[in-house]
Amino acid sequence: MDQNNSLPPYAQGLASPQGAMTPGIPIFSPMMPYGTGLTPQPIQNTNSLSILEEQQRQQQQQQQQQQQQQQQQQQQQQQQQAVATAAVQQSTSQQTTQGTSGQAPQLFHSQTLTTAPLPGTTPLYPSPMTPMTPITPATPASESSGIVPQLQNIVSTVNLGCKLDLKTIALRARNAEYNPKRFAAVIMRIREPRTTALIFSSGKMVCTGAKSEEQSRLAARKYARVVQKLGFPAKFLDFKIQNMVGSCDVKFPIRLEGLVLTHQQFSSYEPELFPGLIYRMIKPRIVLLIFVSGKVVLTGAKVRAEIYEAFENIYPILKGFRKTT
């Protein structure tokens, strides 16, 4: 079958790569170059900097040590499934050392290891894990990025506490649209604060578009007042902020390929699908979209502090990729 003739541009490359029959990469070898004499630990990839991130948080609380142990278990499970990738990753990371080589010197500080030892190992050596185990880097407690993420969108929900007749609302309100064939809710908009609300017949309402928590609450109250004036016994129950989105700019370019190599467990970078890197931070549970231009979008927060905390966590990691060309 002549594969290459009739396929669209992005479908090229179906012929076998040269020399692919014998890959030449030791896919299933354990790769313990330093040979500490201990049994190979589960984590045997170049994700040493992902462990770095976990250790940064260990400076703060004990509960984060427990979290790291949970993380190890997760990594163990992942390792069982993808043991081949470890060796493959090391070989590919050697090709793109630009991103990671700048990072290594920062790691070997003479600070005591603050990790709790993994169950079943005795910490005879200062680094019982991978050879490139990062010891907690010297980030001064007072150093902060000086950049504050701006909130761009708040999504909140409230229960109006009574059944609503959407047809009446759509008829008697100026700012409402209702197309039952497309969506089973009235879409209402107000000008100040500039927001949009989805009002359902059950009495539940979703309010989106506000730039701060207070504005979201005020907007939700205004929608409830409109519904009240239309003749329904609307109340204002269980107002809750469901999601907050923030964005900021670190003002320097970021090597996304390097970041995905060092923070594999958290990052997902598929340039064929999306130009940004999707970073899923564990604590706080925030998803960050990191772009090559240095712009960062943070989402998934329930409170403002989570966005600020997430940005303070990611900023030192991004700065680590700054000095590469």
Partner 1 sequence: MPGRGRCPDCGSTELVEDSHYSQSQLVCSDCGCVVTEGVLTTTFSDEGNLREVTYSRSTGENEQVSRSQQQGLRRVRDLCRVLQLPPTFEDTAVAYYQQAYRHSGIRAARLQKKEVLVGCCVLITCRQHNWPLTMGAICTLLYADLDVFSSIYMQIVKLLGLDVPSLCLAELVKTYCSSFKLFQASPSVPAKYVEDKEKMLSRTLQLVELANETWLVTGRHPLPVITAATFLAWQSLQPADRLSCSLARFCKLANVDLPYPASSRLQELLAVLLRMAEQLAWLRVLRLDKRSVVKHIGDLLQHRHSLVRLAFRDGTAEVETRGQEPPAWGQGQREGEVGNNSLGLPQGKRPASPALLLPPCMLKPPKRICPAPPVSTVTGDENISDSEIEQYLRTPQEVRDFQRAQAARQAATSVPNPP
Q: In angstroms, rounded to a whole number, what is the distance separating the alpha carbons of residues 204 and 160?
A: 6
Contacts of 209 (CB under 8 A, 6+ apart): 153, 154, 193, 194, 195, 196, 219
| Residue 38: other Cβ atoms inside 10 A | 14
Q: Please give the residues from 246 up to 275 whose contact with partner 1 meets the rule CB under 8 A.
A: 251-253, 255-257, 260-261, 264-265, 268-275
25 binds partner 1 (CB under 8 A): yes
Count residues binding partner 1 (CB under 8 A): 86
Q: In angstroms, rounded to a whole number, what is the distance separating the alpha carbons of residues 57 and 65?
A: 8
61 binds partner 1 (CB under 8 A): no
Least Å distance, CB 156 to partner 1, is 11
Per the CB < 8 A criterion, the answer to whether 258 and 99 are in contact is yes
Least Å distance, CB 150 to partner 1, is 6
| Residue 279: other Cβ atoms inside 10 A | 25
Least Å distance, CB 176 to partner 1, is 8
Task: Candidates 15-23, 34-42, 109-117, 132-140: pick the segment binding partner 1 (CB under 8 A).
Answer: 15-23
Please say which residue, 44 or 115, places its beta carbon nearer to partner 1: 44
Please say which residue, 114 or 225, places its beta carbon nearer to partner 1: 225
Per the CB < 8 A criterion, the answer to whether 321 and 99 are in contact is yes
Q: How far is CA 111 from CA 131, 306, 313, in A?
A: 16, 29, 20
Which residue in 138, 162, 171, 303 binds partner 1 (CB under 8 A)? 171
Helix (H, G, I), strand (E, B) or coil at 197: strand
5 binds partner 1 (CB under 8 A): yes
Task: Candidates 34-42, 74-82, 117-125, 178-186: pick the segment binding partner 1 (CB under 8 A).
Answer: 74-82
181 binds partner 1 (CB under 8 A): no
193 binds partner 1 (CB under 8 A): yes
173 binds partner 1 (CB under 8 A): yes
Q: Residue 3: left (phi > 0), alpha (psi -120 to 50), or beta?
A: alpha
Please say which residue, 114 or 167, places its beta carbon nearer to partner 1: 167
146 binds partner 1 (CB under 8 A): no
Least Å distance, CB 13 to partner 1, is 4
Q: What does the DSSP assignment read for 271-325?
A: TTT-SSEEEEETTTTEEEEE-TTSEEEEEEESSHHHHHHHHHHHHHHHHTTTT--
283 binds partner 1 (CB under 8 A): no
Task: Candidates 5-13, 32-40, 54-62, 127-135: pick the segment binding partner 1 (CB under 8 A).
Answer: 5-13
Which residue in 109, 163, 229, 285 binds partner 1 (CB under 8 A)? 229
Task: Candidates 33-41, 59-67, 116-124, 205-213: pick the segment binding partner 1 (CB under 8 A).
Answer: 205-213
193 prior amide bond cis, ω within 30: yes
Per the CB < 8 A criterion, the answer to whether 269 and 256 are in contact is yes
Strands 267-269 and 237-249: unpaired
Please say which residue, 113 or 216, places its beta carbon nearer to partner 1: 216
